Structure 1
Amino acid sequence: MPLELGDTTATLIGVVTVDEVEELATWLRVTAKPRVNLRKCNHLHTGAFQAILHFRPKVSAAPTDVFLAGLVLPLLMGSGGPPIRERSEP
């Protein structure tokens, strides 16, 4: 099961698909001070990502997946991510 929804923390596990988006968004909407644990998440559907961005829960555990940790987590934490390096012309 990709979602484990507790009283205040949602744990996202493995591959979170479009099938979990509505359940996650509803939980985020009705939970006071929600938290998300992304430690065991290795794929986050864009709908789930958008729900997390919209409701801005606290991230209680960072993902260990390199892509999620390096590029997605900074966006969830309010950063624009790493600076984009401009290409140098040859």
Structure 2
Amino acid sequence: MPLELNETTATLSGVVTVDEVEPLAAWLRITDKPKVNLRRCNHLHTGALQALLLFQPRITSSPTDAFLATQVLPLLRGSSGGPVLPESEPP
């Protein structure tokens, strides 16, 4: 089961598809201080990603999937993860 919802923690595992987006978003909407465990997640539908970005739950466990860990997790933790651009010099 890709989505397990408990009182304060959601566990996403395996392939999270479009079918899990609405239950996840509804749970995030009604849960006070939600936490999300991504440890066993290896694919996240963009709708689920958008819900996580919108509601900004606390991520309690990082995904072991390399792409999710390096490219998606920084977005969920509030960092663009992109290169640091040098400041422009004053004229």
The alignment's TM-score, normalised by the length of structure 2, stands at 0.90
Per the TM alignment, residue 82 of structure 1 is displaced from its structure 2 partner at its CA by 3.5
Show structure 1 runs of 4+ deviating over 6 A: none
RMSD of aligned alpha carbons: 1.0
Deviations 1:10-39 (A, max 9, x none): 000100000000000000000000000000
Q: Which amino acid aligns with 2:19?
A: D
Name the SS of the counterpart of 2:63 in structure 1: coil
Residue aligning to 2:21: 21
Counterpart residue type for residue 27 of structure 2? W
- Structure 1's unaligned 5+ residue stretches are 85-90
Counting aligned pairs with the same residue, the percent is 70
Native 8 Å contact 1:3 1:12 kept in 2: yes
Q: Write the letter of the residue equivalent to 2:14.
A: G
TM-score by length of 1: 0.91
Would you say 1:9 and 2:2 are equivalent positions?
A: no
Structure 2 counterpart of 1:53:
53
**What 5-or-longer segments of structure 2 have no aligned partner?**
85-91
Kindly tell me the number of residue pairs found equivalent between the two proteins: 84
